[in-house]
Every structure is written in C-alpha cells, then in structure tokens.
Structure 1
Amino acid sequence: MNQPPASGTLFGHPKGLFLLFSTEMWERFSYYGMRALLILTLVAATESTNPGFGMSNGDALLTYGYYTGLVYATTLFGGLIADNWLGQRRSIIIGGILMAIGQFTLFAATPHSLDLFYVGLGFIICGNGLFKPNISAIVGDLYQPGDARRDGGFSIFYMGINIGGFLAPLITSSLGESDAFGWRYGYLAAGVGMTLSVVIQLLFAQKYLGDLGRVPGRILSHTEAGTAAPLTKVEFDRLRVVLFLFIFVTMFWLAFEQAGGLMSLFALSHTDRFIGTFEVPAGWFQSLNSLFIIIFAPFFAWLWVTLSSRKIQADAPIKILFGMLLTAIGFGFLIMGVFEMQTSPGSKASMLWLTLAFLFHTFGELCISPVGLSLMTKLAPVKLASLVMGIWFLMPAVAQYLAGFVGAYSDSAGDNPAMVEFAASLGVRQADAGLLVVFGGIAVALVVFAAALWLLSGTLVRWMHGAERLQA
C-alpha cells in the first residue's frame, strides 16, 4: 500500500470514516427505500388505483423472506471474491452499480411484469453481496488494533446507515403509496440514491482512503507475512467465537427483521394510523428504527467508550444478550397492541405500541449490530477479513429466510385448533391468534437464547484472547 489514508481527524475519527459514512448512507437509502415498498407492492391488488402484484399476505411474506435472505447470504461470496481477487474497493463499486441497475429494473417492471421484478431483485441481491461486507471491513481497517475509538467509529458509521434508512421510507413511501405516482416511482427514487453512493465513492475514495482496500486480503497477508501462514491457535479460537455467536445473533435478526414483513402488514391492516384526518402511510413506520438510531447512537457510542475508560468492560457477548432482552420487550409492546384490538370487533391498535416496539428493537440493535461489526474486524485474520464480515452478514441471511416462514405462520395459525384455543384463553379472537402466537413466541425465544448466551459468555471471552482489550 503506497498512499495512506488522509491524515488528520474529524470529530476525533479518521476522515475516511465520513466518506464511508456518506457512501453507506446513500446505499442504505436505496435499500431501505425499496424495502419499505416491497411487501406493500406485492400485496397491492392488481386492479386498484395504485396496482401491485396481488399476492396473498402469506405468499408475500415468504417472497420477502427469500429475497432478504439472499441479499445477505451473497455477502459470504462477496467477501471471498474481494479477499481473493477484486479487493474491497473494486467490489464496492461493482456492487453499487449492480444495485443501481436493480432499482431501475424494479421501476421498469412495476406493476407490469412480476418476472422482470424478480430480475431487478436479483441484481440487488448480487450487488449487495459485493458491497456490504467490504465497506464494513474498510471501516475496521481505519483503526489500529486496540484503538478504543473503533466501537465508537462503527456507531458513527451506523448513524450514516440510518440517516439513509430514515429518509428513504419518507420519500419512497410518499411516492409509492400515492395514487398520483405509484409504487414504481418509489423504486426510481431508490435507484437515484444508489447512483449517488457510487458517484461519491468514485470521486473521493482515493483522496480520503488512499490505497486502503485496493489490495485483496490474500495478497496483503502474503506481503506482511512473506508466506501464506496457517491459522494460529489464537486465530482459530477467535473464529470459533464467530461461529458460536452465529446462533445467537441469527435469533436476534429473525426477530428484528419482522419489521419489514409482519410488522409492516401490522401497520397496514391492524394499526390506527389516523392523526386527525391524515392517515400516516404504512411505510413511514419503517423510518422509526433509523430515526431512533440517529437519536440514540451517540449515547451508545459514548457509553461504550466511557465504560472502557472506567475499566468497566462490557464484553461483546454481554452486549448481545442485553440486546436480545431489549428486543423481547419490544415484542411485548406488540402483544399489548394485539390485546387492544380485542376491545371490539374491527378495533385497531394504537400507533403507540408499534412506535414503542421499534424503539426497543432499536435499543437491541444498538447493543448488537455496530458492536458485532466492530468485533468481526477484531477477530478476523487479515487474509480472511472480508470473508469473516461476510459470515457476519450471513447471520441475517439465515434469519431473514426463517423470518419469512415465521411471519407467514401468522396467516395460518388461525387454522390450528391448539393455537386458537390458546389465544381464546387469553381473550384473543381467532382472527388475531396468529399475531399473538408469533409475537409472543419470538419474545419468549429471545429470553431463552439470552439466558443460554449468559451461560456461555465466559468461555467465549476466553476464546477471544483479549481481542477487545488490546492496547495500541
């Protein structure tokens, strides 16, 4: 590597962090913008004033699960390709271009051709696989081993993700749910956002990142070590931590990713969205998670650094289990919404319950996602940096796939006599039994998994061999 990243700092962090912040912000604008529309487009009637593809709720949730699962599953291959051939920077550019093509294909396909719509989703799946693990890996490379700013840097990077995630549904849903424009113009706006992300990276990456991320990790590890050395015992143990955390983080994402599927349908059909005479678009609720992250991410970034400075070490497994418990509380509020729906036939839940659910899901995410991103860069050997980041994103891939089935079960639980009887014993109608069973089942599962992680946390910390406690 000949040209180093730009010297100096901004708000105490490398300047390159804010370039990656901007690149990721517009990419997430694109992704979350289309995600806010996806399930609503699929279930919209073909003969309505704003026509969609007319799927049933169950089929749409399964399609959503397949798509979002593949979006994250391909990050494993994207990491392998970057580590061995393309390097992280070229992977980001190629991935971004593919995603832009995908968004514009969705614009062209809606509502005329479901087959072409699937082609657009395919472009986004492949592009995200190249883009997502590699930009996160470069964030970690901006910091030296043991730099206490790294977790805070990932929290700032996470704010960039969520500024895009906050703005996107407000714009794409306002266009997409409007009869005057229609779903396709929401996808057009998402395509423009993805194009901006690529342009920013092309114009400013060399200035602020230097040659960081240009050389594939396999070649870089040869340069540093002279030969392709085998994994050491410490590196092997750290990879074992990654694999064990896979189980628990996957459970978190299975719960969390109900946001774009079942919770989106809950907002559409079961939530009283009127403020006076104005009906809040269902897609706007997708902005709440990002809004809360923007508000609370600085607090969590401050919290981790402050605890570290006071020698109070909250290791990653402990942060993750607290994140799971906070997410379980969020599902508790959704259960309260289901009970409120039982007051009279046709009653809907207050927006308060959905808002509180998103708030506590956000608290859970802030304990898990930016912390996990940072942890992967600490545990990964140099030659496997992007691959390990791909494994991290494989966790939500598996979770998204399973989440589709879990969410779809809410559509059929009312046909199960045992589920109906259980719901009735709690005063919940048959029509709402699926919501109660799914929301309640997820909450209980999160608590059980958090307890299991508590029992394993000591072993996992030993296997880290001080990765979180090294001093520069």
Structure 2
Amino acid sequence: MSQQIPQGTFLGHPKGLFLLFTTEMWERFSYYGMRALLVLTMVAATDAANPGFGMTTAEALKLYAYYTSLVYLTPIFGGWLADTFIGQRRAVILGGALMSVAQFVLFAATPHSLSLFYVGLGILIIGNGFFKPNISTMVGDLYEQGDARRDSAFSIFYMGINLGAFIAPLICSTLGEDPAWGWRYGYLAAGIGMALSVVIQLFFAQRFLGDVGVVAGAKRSLDAAGGKKQPLTKVELDRLRVILTLFIFVVMFWLAFEQAGGLMNIFAQDKTDRMIGNSEVPAGWFQSLNAMFILIFAPVFSILWVKLNKIDKNPDAPIKIVVGLFMTAIGFGFLVAGIFQMQTTGDAKASMIWLVLAYMFHTLGELCISPVGLSLMTKLAPMRLASLVMGIWFLMPALAQLLGGLIGAFSEQAGEYESVRHFAANLGIRAEDAGILAIFGSIAIFLCLFAIILWFISGKLVLWMHGAEKFSADTTEAALNEELNVVGDHEALRKQH
C-alpha cells in the first residue's frame, strides 16, 4: 500500500521533512531540558533557597539510572505497537501528549510531592516509548526507496535533534537553577516545548505529511512478507557472533558516557568553579556541550573516514570502537585531573575547563562508536532478524543507563572504604573526594582495558563479518550524509524496516 505525500518541496525536500524537524527539535528540547534538572532537583535540600526533594546523591543517581534505562527500553514496545496496530502518526501524537502532560505533572509536584513526581516520570517513560521510535520512521517514509535525497533528509533531521538538545539546558537550567524561579519552572518550560511539538503535529501533519504514518507498517508491508523461512547460514551466524561480542564493549562505552546526566552533573554543581566574573554558570548548561561538539565534529569525522577510505586506510569498525573507548577514557582522565586541582584551590573546586575537555573527548568517543556501531548493525543483521538486531542495539544503552547510574550512585559508598581513602590520601586527595576519584578513575581504567581486549580480538571479528563492512560512499558529500544519517538514527531510536 503506497502512501500519498503532498506535492511541493522546500530546499529540494518535501515540506513534511521540516515539519518533522520542528516536531523533533521541541521534543529533544523537552527531554534534555528535563534531564539536566532531574538529579539536581532530587539532591536539592528541602529547606534550600531553591528547595528540592532532599535525596542523597546515591538515591538520586539510582533514580536517574532506573528512569533513563526505561526511557531506552520502552521504544521497543512503542515501535512494535505502532507498526502492528496504531501507525506512526497516532503513536507520535499520543506519545507527545503524554510527555507534555508528564512535564506539567513534574511542575505541579516540585518540590511538594515526591509521589506525584514519580507519577510524572512514569508517564514520561510511557510517552517516550510511543514517540521516539516512530517520528524518524516517518522521515524515511517521505522518500521512495533509492531516493538520493533520503540520506540528506536525515542529516537535516539530525540537526533538529541536536539544536533542541543544545538550547534546552540553556533555558530550562537557567530557570530551574535560579531560586527566584525554582526547579519547577524548568519543567514547565520543558512541558511547553513538548506541547508545541504536539500542536505542530495536530495542526499541520495532514497538510504536509498526507497519509504518511497513518497506516500501520505491518499492514502496508503485508504483501511483501511472503516466502519460505530458511535456516541461518554460516555467514549469518558469524555476523551475529560479531554483534553479540560488540554488545559487551558498547555497553561499557554507554555506561561511561551516561555519567553525563548523573555523576558528572553532580560534579558540575558541587565540585566545579562555575564563576565567570560576578556571574555563575548554571550546572545544567554543561549538558549542552555534547550536542554542540557533535554539531562541530560530526562533519569532520565523516570527511575523515571518506578521506581514509580513498587511500585504503579506513579502519575497520572494531578498531574505530577501540579508538572511541580510548577517547572516552581520556575524557575521564581530565575529570581525574580536575579532582587533583581541587586539592590546591581554596574553595576545593575544579576549573570548568576539565568538564569542557571531558565532554569534548566523550563526544569524540561517541562519534567513533555510535554512528559506526549503528551502521555496522544494519550491515550485519540478517534481513529476517533486522528488527530484533536493532532491538538488541537499543538494549545496550538501556542496560548501560541502569548500570552506569548504579555505579555513579556508588561514589558515596566507595569513599567510605578505608582502603579507598588510604589510596586517595597517598595521592594527596582529601577523604571527601576519594569516592568520586575512585569512580572516575576506575571507569577510565576499565575503558582502556576493554579497548585493549577489543583490539586483540578485532582481527577475528573482521573475519566473522565476511566483508559486510564496505564503505559505499565515494564522495565527501555522500559520506557526510551517511555519517550524519546513522548518528541521527541513534539519537532518535529510528526503527529499521
């Protein structure tokens, strides 16, 4: 069943692309604005000038772990429901409406009712499951198979993702961290952004999207689902071995990377000198750095890969992941350097430069792993198991979010061990900083160890790929589109069809 797409283009693309761009931009604004506030709201004292819920750091980081892991888990079910029953369009509107309501619930709950706050988080998780996997599916549906504009469309869509992620903390954290307004007004801003996303879909979707996303994908593809089932071949089994092996290393990366919204957020608030002149930089503003660095470096990496490919020096995917793990480890090394600097300052706080450098190297690591890994999954997955394999890929950050949050929460307990305090003291580190040193330092060490192990087994993994990884782009422009496409796919949890 073909889908009717309205005529007319803007900048060479269907006008519906820019509708979806705007919808996703406001949804990302809502998500990242709320994420920048969550842990800080939880740990703020109930009697502070800007009161929160008075949790310990460990309690707040555990909550963050449970929330973010479920955020990455529910899109698997939301995507299946949309494909099978309700269609992408209804799923996006339903999910957006639920998330908007949830943000307003958080506004109403803060700082008076922790129980109501939990209700808001639960509604956010459900709404996210419907929204995330379906909106970018509609981007792809705007183009026929083989349309050369499709990759470029995801490049444009990807810019919307990171534009929303960049501006969100600047607005939501500015309001939320200011006692004159309070945490709740940060959530209110996030809710208004999400409401705008829904309103845009309700009023303009039919005009610019036609019937794209209206009919469930299972119904549209029914005619193409025939044929006999065949057992997996040896090549397919070998490629599945690669996927399952890389699962371990990619989980380790996301476990480290997702400290950004948890322990690194606490580090920014409590351990970082954020003063510029007489003004204090809100802690949540640092959450914008990842999106900013992606916008800067993603085109650079894309051009780098194609240049290396032209001289037959383009590294295999496992080697790129090795580099990504080392890059992320260097980022944590800068945080450790910041802890050492804290011991020499009168206010026991580190310079902001350490956080900036950490976020930059974490982003460089992400660009070596996230787009490369996602692209590799689509090449290795047997056609009949494509959806399952993509589900496995998105389970990686779900598991990593949970483990990473629990590890971050352990920082307080780790500092209570006499052996940890003794080790820190020998390095000239105060007892109150021993726990965070242990966590950041251990993550850096384990990232390096995992990178070394992957480097040793990379040759075998390449053999098991059986030539699946062939860089098809032969121009810098094509490579740029391909690279931004897969990064954007990861950010939006795009379902593969």
**Structure 1 length-normalised TM:** 0.88
Contact 2:306 2:314 in 1 (8 A): no
Q: Say whether the 8 Å CA contact 2:309–2:471 is kept in structure 1.
A: no
2:44 aligned partner: 44
Residue 426 of structure 2: aligned partner: 425
Q: Any idea what the Cα deviations from partners look like across 1:382-434, whole Å, max 9, x if unmatched?
A: 66655544432221111111111211121122211111122122221211111
Describe the superposition over 1:251-281 as per-residue Cα deviations: whole angstroms up to 9, x where unpaired.
1111111111111111111111111111111
Name the residue aligned to 1:169. 169
- Quickly say closer, same or farther: Cα 1:470–1:165, change in 2 above 3 A: closer
Equivalent residue runs for 1:204-353 within 5 Å? 213-214=213-214, 216-227=216-227, 229=229, 232-233=232-233, 237-308=238-309, 311-344=312-345, 346-353=347-354
Q: Which residue does 1:455 correspond to in 2?
A: 456
The residue aligned with 1:414 is 415
Q: 1:133, 1:389 within 8 Å by CA — same for their partners in 2?
A: no
Q: Quote how far apart the aligned CAs of 1:244 are.
A: 2.8
1:355 aligns with 2:360: no
Aligned residue type for 1:302: I
Aligned length, in residue pairs: 472
Worse-superposed segment, 241-250 or 164-173: 241-250
Alpha-carbon distance change, 196 to 465 in structure 1, aligned in 2, over 3 angstroms: farther
Which AA in structure 2 matches 1:449? F
Q: CA deviation at 1:54?
A: 0.8
| Structure 2 CA distance for partners of 1:4 and 1:173, relative to 1, 3 Å | same
Instruction: Summarize the alignment of residues 20-59 of structure 1 with structure 2, pairs less than 5 Å apart.
Output: 20-59=20-59
- Name the aligned partner's letter for residue 303 of structure 1: L
Partner deviation per Cα, 1:20-71 (whole Å, 9 max, x = no partner): 4433222111111001110111111112222111111111111111111111
Q: Kindly tell me: are residues 100 and 298 of structure 1, through their superposed partners in 2, closer, same or farther at Cα, counting changes over 3 Å?
A: same
**1:329–1:93: structure 2 CA closer, same or farther, 3 Å change rule?**
same
d(CA) in 2 for partners of 1:146 and 1:317?
28
Deviates more, 1:325-334 or 1:213-222: 213-222
- Counterparts of 1:150-165 in structure 2, within 5 Å, are 156-165=156-165
Give 1:188 shift.
Answer: 1.1
Distance (whole Å) between structure 1 residues aligned to residue 147 and residue 423 of structure 2: 52
1:280 partner letter: V
1:84 aligns with 2:84: yes
The residue identity in structure 1 corresponding to 2:427 is L
Flag the 1:390–1:100 CA change in 2: closer, same or farther, 3 A. Answer: farther
Partner of 2:489: none
Q: 1:186 maps to what in 2?
A: 186
Q: Offset of 1:17 from its aligned partner?
A: 5.4
Does the C-alpha gap of structure 1 residues 288 and 125 become closer, same or farther in structure 2, counting only changes over 3 Å?
same
Corresponding letter in the other structure for 2:96: G
Say if 1:78 and 1:129, in contact at 8 Å, map to a contact too.
yes
**Within 2, Cα distance between the matches of 1:17 and 1:297?**
21
Q: Answer yes or no: is the 8 Å Cα contact 1:80–1:387 preserved in 2.
A: no
Match for residue 484 of structure 2?
Answer: none
| More moved, 307-316 vs 53-62 | 307-316
Counterpart CA distance in 2 for 1:211 and 1:132 is 19
Tell me the CA shift for residue 312 of structure 1.
4.5
For 1:4 and 1:314, how far apart are their aligned partners in 2?
42
Contact 2:424-2:430 within 8 A present in 1 as well: yes
CA contact (8 A) 2:2 2:220 kept: no
- Cα distance in 2, alignment partners of residues 132 and 377 from structure 1: 19
1:116 aligns with 116
Which range moves more in the overlay, 231-240 or 447-456? 231-240
Give 1:277's aligned amino acid: N
Note if contact 1:65-1:401 (Cα within 8 Å) is conserved in structure 2: yes
Structure 1 residue 229: deviation in Å? 3.9
For 1:86 and 1:78, the matched residues in 2 are separated by 10
What's the counterpart of residue 402 of structure 1?
403
Q: In structure 2, give the amino acid aligned to 1:99.
A: M
Aligned partners of 1:21 and 1:157: how far apart in 2?
5
Structure 1 residues 99, 231: CA separation in 2 closer, same or farther (over 3 Å shift)?
farther
1:99 match? 99
What SS does the aligned partner of 2:265 have?
Answer: helix
- Kindly provide the CA deviation profile for residues 274-310 of structure 1, in whole angstroms up to 9, marking residues without a partner as x: 1111111111111111121222222223334444455
TM-score (norm 2): 0.84
Match of 1:428, SS? coil
Contact kept in structure 1, 2:416 and 2:435, CA below 8 Å: no
3-state DSSP of counterpart to 2:273: coil
- 8 Å CA contact 2:50–2:179 kept in 1: the answer is yes
For the pair 1:73 / 2:59, whether they are aligned, the reply is: no
**Larger deviation, residues 326-335 vs 173-182:** 173-182
- Relative to structure 1, the CA distance from residue 251 to residue 139 in structure 2 (aligned partners, 3 Å threshold; closer, same or farther) is farther
* CA 6–333 in structure 1, closer or farther in 2 if over 3 Å, else same: farther
| CA shift for structure 1 position 341 | 0.8
Contact 1:329 1:360 in 2 (8 A): yes
Q: Distance between the aligned counterparts of 2:127 and 2:205, measured in 1?
A: 19
Provide Cα deviations, 1:174-193, integer angstroms capped at 9, x if missing partner.
11111221111111111121
1:109-134: CA deviation from partner (whole Å, max 9, x where unpaired): 11111111001100111121222233
Inter-partner Cα distance in structure 1 for 2:146 and 2:465: 13
> Contact 2:69–2:399 at 8 Å: present in 1 too?
yes
* Distance change (3 Å), C-alpha of 1:251 and 1:6: farther
Letter in 1 for 2:441: G
Partner deviation per Cα, 1:216-243 (whole Å, 9 max, x = no partner): 4544554214247457436555544433
Give distance in 1, aligned partners of 2:80 and 2:262: 30
> 2: CA distance between counterparts of 1:64 and 1:287?
18
Kindly tell me: are residues 108 and 77 of structure 1, through their superposed partners in 2, closer, same or farther at Cα, counting changes over 3 Å? same
Q: Shift of the alpha carbon at 1:454? A: 2.4
Change (3 A) 1:131 1:301: farther
Name the Cα RMSD after superposition: 3.2
Counterpart Cα distance in 2 of 1:454 and 1:252: 15
User: What are the superposed Cα offsets for residues 294-347 of structure 1, whole Å, 9 maximum, x if unpaired?
Assistant: 222222233344444555544433332222111111101001000001115642
CA change 1:418–1:398 in 2 (3 A) is: same
Shift of 1:456: 3.5
Percentage of pairs with the same residue: 66
Question: How many angstroms does 1:76 deviate by?
Answer: 2.6
